[in-house]
Structure 1
């Protein structure tokens, strides 16, 4: 929790200082009230002095108003400081996630990162608010109440020597036991987010297979698990409430018992007994606030640990201090091996090949052969486990990350669009592009026709994840978005699979013209998308099975020939 205080910065620090000062004013006024009440009883009422009662009553009203101002100011500034800190933590966490490599994001999992950005940050925010209000008020009120009680009667104050230690021991024991329970609660929230995310994104599949009942049952299981852990965590802390109530009631009985005897002996006035009981109630209420703070602190500490886990994670992909600029755009793989984690199997084995600047390379192979893993090493979405990936003869680990990502255009297998307009999505990553650049890229990506057919054209709304567009339309917009960059290296990861043969042929023709001087790598399931490439790699089980032109592979690669026959027909293949 302490590590997150660095996010309390700027004006928020001033607000965090003003809030306790304002609370000190409110506490001072609250502690003054019982003393004034005792004076009314012991002096005004005892002597029948009505004027004194009215005068002291007016002072009590003024004190209450000053306390109201102090309390309100504390609430306002504490809220501003807590919300500001929450905003900074959320922003810092989001920025960190953006800088993590795919390896770390895969490790944390998307659902868990969403929970940390939302629920966990909210717990920190609530804890900060409580710390600046209740956790300031409680110790001030407790200490002030004890001081005022001692001033009224030293003998009666000995009652606190028995009450306070009992409460402190109870709080310490329960905090230690509740922390792991709240950590388990946050982990169960992660699980619930996984199930919700899968069900919301896969709702069409669920309905198509008539699996609503089974999925509801699956959600019930994780939901019940969350409830079970939450109940255990809350029950552990709620035990404190009856303990505090019991101790407070016993203390009041002791005060009335011993105080009554002192009144009979005329060693103390009745008004002071009433004031003493008021101070006791204030002290016990402050301890109740401490308990509420403990509840919040237990949960916030678990959340802080999860947030710090992300913030303290270093990206496995780092840029060297003396990084180099890209000189040319030849690509070479030298004995590259790759696996996603230390415990997983290799998905790429001893990959070696070279692509000259300006060449067009096709990559083909069965699903799961390692094609997408191979191309992800070029822009350093992942780093090779061993071996080297070179661009312009320089290891990609030694190149400037910004140059590398700016010079490479990647059209991923999954077409991800963002909510906004078509224009917003096309400008994504190339903010300085003008309309002519968008129009040109859209024409080459074969997207211009359906865009202009829409009522608002390029201003047409794109819903979240492009839900209002077909698969082919999303792919063409994704291709156009990348073409606007005019990349020196273009990587297309099976990004035309949703297009019909005619549209794909037009796309390939436009790409050949537009990217004539660029290095192009195309992953495809259809041979028609790669057959005109300068070189084609056949990937099988993480290895290069064969390499050559379309004609050469028909003669030397049984895998390639079988794919060609299944897609083009034996007669067409035989005539090549």
Structure 2
């Protein structure tokens, strides 16, 4: 039942076998041919061995005669001829083994390439909720470690399974056709060898898995340590971290030593059972020679056969473990590939955005946490207006931005873009016309130029420089030794918080979007620079819709409409002057921030 379940998971790969059938089928043919050339040398050796026995008697019979020299020459040339035949058969087998690897192993590499691309393309389609539920390390393992294990099944496991099956059939048929009794006793230790190897391989795999898990744990610990090195040094925790790393290393060493111990028993045990099979062959074969049922050359032939079967038998456990591991990995891949994206384009309706936005009684609860982010939100933004959203942390501001970008779909209510339901718009076309600067800035390990130009297929240097100027970043960039070609390091670690935010702003505005959403992305920027950026945006976004989520009232005073949020609801909305006149929450927030700015 377990084997059936394993093959059920691996059945997903059958489409790839069909796709690469003209590599797979010749590969099977090459396996069969190579094994034919593997079996024939034993028969040549048997003939040569019998020839030696027969000619020694004739050679001794002509002792003292001139013909003895002639017999010696003929005898030597015959042995040389048989030796050349064995060498030729070995070369031919090697040639077809090369062809076998060039077909089956290359097929597995092509399938590995296709499978990785299929998984990666599926990653691109999945929604934000999926990435909140799964950690990055697990997602990486599916496209690297799991696919590598599947490839080992597609290549080596299948190749050795076919090779072993064909070789077994050919050798057993050859052995039983010579002498059934000798064949039975010669093969008797091999099942015991197969079971022993399978059992030992199971233990080796279990311990290898523990080593991989410990190695993964240690790698994650080291990565986290390097990422947080500034915090570690600031809190003087180097000794504590070193002790934890020593413990991780000690656990890894313990698991590694346990694996080495079982491996140390593996090869002596294998050689013992192979040697036992050879001894039985010689003993039983000797009895059969005395009876006259076989020749002494048959004993040599059988010893070759037994030794030829040794590797296939030893590989059975290895191949079985490869199939088990591939099945477990393919099961993980299948579960992932069956995951459907929550956010899809329900139609291919493409529009040129004007920038009209309307929320009608929109509510949303995050599916992974169950937190009710917003409740019955309603507001309207006319094309070209500047909307500001302010409120305490956790009031639902960023959720509005995520819903507008359609990272999630609302649970209730409607979101309209230019009077079209956002769900009915072509997703890529819509997002292509929207600029988004997220709260958590993410920069790629690339040049400043490429990070700014990320949203464009092709970007001219003038466009990138202009975007940097409008984001008040140009002077900082030209101050770097390599300017726009400066590598910014992993996640932009070489830049300050404010520089990262401004680079993210430049990336959004270079698209010249019809709708621009700023999700609290000015928090690390000083007031003077913020004012410069907002003035530039006011000019750039003329007749275009802007949405600015902020904490500082001073940032949003000039907005056409301000939403004040608390607890996932809009508690006030209007212009700065109208909200100040209400003397409500917005007024209190303004007064509080004004007092904080005036306090030395």
What TM bracket, shorter-length normalisation? 0.7 to 0.9
After superposition, give the CA deviation of every residue in 1:237-277 in whole Å (9 maximum; x if it has no partner). Answer: 99987876665454434333322211222221222112112
Q: Over residues 138-175 of structure 1, what are the superposed CA-to-partner deviations in whole Å (9 max), with x where a residue is unaligned?
A: 22222222122112212222237755665677788899
Aligned partners of 1:116 and 1:307 also within 8 Å: yes
Residue number in structure 2 paired with 1:339: 365
Deviation at 1:570, TM superposition (A): 7.6
1:24-81 alpha-carbon deviations (Å, 9 max, x no partner):
3332222112111111111234423333222111101111111222223333444432
Q: Whole-Å Cα distance in 2 between the matches of residues 310 and 224 of structure 1? A: 34
Distance 1:385 1:174 in 2: 54
In structure 2, how many angstroms separate the alpha carbons of the residues matched to 1:358 and 1:170?
Answer: 77
Task: Kindly report which structure 2 residues correspond to 1:65-214, keeping only aligned pairs within 5 A, or say none.
Answer: 65-159=91-185, 195-214=221-240
Indicate yes or no: 2:47 matched with 1:39: yes
Shift in CA distance, 20/157, structure 1 to aligned 2, threshold 3 Å = same
1:500 aligns with 2:508: no
Q: Rg: which structure is higher?
A: 2
Match of 2:12 in 1: 3
Residue matched to 2:443: 417
Provide the residue aligned with 2:4 in structure 1: none
1:30 matches 2:38: yes
Q: Does 2:433 match 1:407?
A: yes
Q: Does 1:378 align with 2:386?
A: no
Q: Is the 8 A contact 2:187 2:277 kept in 1?
A: no
Q: Which residue of 2 aligns with 1:431?
A: 457
CA deviation vs aligned residue, 1:290-318 (integer Å, no higher than 9, x gap): 22212222222222222222222111111
Cα drift, residue 346 of structure 1: 1.5
Residues 504-544 of structure 1, C-alpha deviations (whole Å, 9 max, x = no match): 00101111111021111111122222121112222223222
C-alpha separation in 1, matches of 2:204 and 2:359: 53
Q: Deviations over 1:164-201 (max 9, x none)?
A: 66567778889999999988887777766654553343
2:484, 2:597 → 1: CA distance? 44
Matches within 5 A, 1:435-514: 435-514=461-540
Q: What is the TM-score when the length of structure 1 is the normalising length?
A: 0.88
Instruction: Point out the more displaced range, 137-146 or 176-185.
Output: 176-185
Count of paired positions: 572
Do the aligned residues in 1 keep the contact of 2:157 with 2:322 (CA within 8 Å)? no
CA distance in 2: counterparts of 1:239 and 1:390, whole angstroms: 70
* Matched-pair contact (CA < 8 Å) for 2:194–2:316: no
> Alignment partner of 2:394: what SS?
coil
Structure 1: unaligned runs, 5 residues or longer: none
Distance 2:423 2:255 in 1: 45
1:16 and 1:78 in contact (8 A); partners too: yes
Change (3 A) 1:138 1:65: same
SS at 1:318's partner residue?
coil
Cα displacement (A) at 1:114:
1.3
CA distance in 2, matches of 1:7, 1:334: 48
Q: Is the 8 A contact 2:129 2:368 kept in 1?
A: no
After TM superposition, give the deviation of residue 350 of structure 1 in Å: 2.3
Give the Cα separation in 1 of the matches to 2:305 and 2:597: 99
Residue equivalent to 2:63: none
Asked whether the equivalents of residues 347 and 426 of structure 2 are also in contact (C-alpha less than 8 Å), the reply is: no
Offset of residue 329 of structure 1: 2.3
The TM-score, its normalising length taken from structure 2, stands at 0.85
Segment of structure 1 superposing worse, 319-328 or 362-371: 319-328
Distance in 2, matches of 1:249 and 1:270, equals 19
Q: Which residue of 2 is the match for residue 516 of structure 1?
A: 542
Q: Which is worse superposed, 310-319 or 534-543?
A: 534-543
Match of 1:58 among 72, 84, 102: 84
Distance 1:337 1:223 in 2: 50
Match of 2:319 among 293, 302, 307: 293
Pick one of 568, 571, 580 that aligns with 1:545. 571
Q: Is the 8 A contact 2:129 2:408 kept in 1?
A: yes
Give the whole-Å Cα distance in 1 for the aligned partners of 2:370 and 2:258: 36
User: Which deviates further from its counterpart, 294-303 or 68-77?
Assistant: 68-77
Q: CA RMSD in A?
A: 3.4
Number of the residue aligned with 2:328? 302
Q: Secondary structure at the match of 1:523?
A: strand
2:66 maps to what in 1? none
Distance in 2 separating the partners of 1:511 and 1:70: 69
